[in-house]
Structures are given as C-alpha cells and as structure tokens.
C-alpha cells in the first residue's frame, strides 16, 4: 500500500532526484549496465517497486530473461561481461558500504577496467538507485503500480 505519494507532497524533492537521475542517464554508462546496477541494488535493498520497474525496463531494451534471472548470482553466471561483473560487485559494496567500505583490491580492479570519470559515474548511478530505493520503500511504493508504456506497433497505431 502506498503510504503517500512523495512526488506530489514534496515535488522539489522528486525534481532533485530526477535531476540526479538525468545526470546519470547522460554519463554514457551503457544502458544495460545501468539497468543491471538498478536491479542488483534494488534486490539488496528489498525495493519491490524498483525491482519491478527495472526488470520491465530491462526487458524493453532487449536484455534476455536468463541474464535478468541471474543478476543475484552474477558471480556464478556466464551471462555477464567483465565490466558488468565489476559494476555489479561495486554495486554490492557501495550499497552495503557500512559493512566493508570499498576494499582497495576492488578499487584497483575497477581502475583496470574504468577511467576515474567512469568510476565516479558508476558510483553516482549506484547512489541514485539507492536513494530511489529508500524513498520508495519508506513511502510504501509497491510492485505492480509501475507499468512501462510499451511503444505501439504499427498495427496498434
């Protein structure tokens, strides 16, 4: 049950979050990697609304179901690139930052695959989805209220 719609109650808060999301969307992070980050952080945080939203979004951009189904076990899955695996590992550590921080070894491995700018942009992507998760969980947004608008086919126009 939605407790209340924070977007309507405090539109400036929503607009601020949307501006952060817009920044991340313009960073050049691969859309597939970005959506995988959103799914993994939402799994860790237990945000059913965001998990529902981003699995719909990822299907719409053509990521296969097998890949989506194995995001939570990405370490054992053959379906992810080296960069995707690094982004997912970084997502786990940043999302759970109070437990172990970001270990030096992980940072060094990330620096082998990403530039400093890409690294910061990945951290921003992880932070933004963590913020969305916390807003949506705290305000009671639940799975099933987001319905991705699919592009119309020629026969539906």
pTM tops 0.75: yes
- Would residue 111 count as lying in a domain? yes
- Would residue 76 count as lying in a domain? yes
Nearest to 71, CA basis, from 83, 53, 84, 60: 84
Q: Are 155 and 16 in contact (CB under 8 A)?
A: no
CATH number at residue 50: 1.20.1290.10
Rounded mean pLDDT, 132-145: 83
- Would residue 21 count as lying in a domain? yes
- By residue range, what is the domain housing residue 11? 6-138
Q: How far is CA 127 from CA 77, 78, 101, 108, 117, in A?
A: 25, 26, 14, 20, 15
Query: Looking at the 3D structure of the chain, how many domains does it have?
Result: 1
Q: How far apart are CA 50 and CA 107, in angstroms?
A: 27
- Would residue 88 count as lying in a domain? yes
Q: Are 50 and 140 in contact (CB under 8 A)?
A: no
Rounded mean pLDDT, 142-149: 65
What are 97-106's pLDDT values in tens digits?
999 999 999 9
């Amino acid at each position: 049950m939605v407790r209340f719609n924070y977007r309507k109650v405090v539109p400036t808060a929503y607009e601020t979050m949307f501006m952060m999301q817009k920044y991340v969307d313009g960073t050049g992070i691969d859309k597939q990697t970005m959506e995988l980050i959103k799914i993994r952080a939402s799994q860790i945080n237990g945000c059913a609304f965001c998990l529902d939203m981003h699995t719909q979004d990822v299907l719409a951009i053509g990521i296969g179901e097998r890949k989506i189904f194995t995001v939570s076990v990405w370490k054992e899955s053959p379906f992810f690139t080296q960069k995707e695996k690094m982004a997912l590992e970084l997502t786990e550590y940043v999302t759970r930052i109070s437990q172990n921080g970001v270990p030096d070894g992980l940072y060094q491995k990330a620096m082998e695959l990403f530039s400093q700018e890409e690294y910061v942009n990945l951290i921003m992507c992880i932070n933004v989805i963590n913020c969305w998760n916390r807003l949506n969980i705290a305000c009671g947004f639940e799975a099933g209220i987001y319905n991705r608008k699919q592009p119309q086919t020629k026969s539906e126009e």
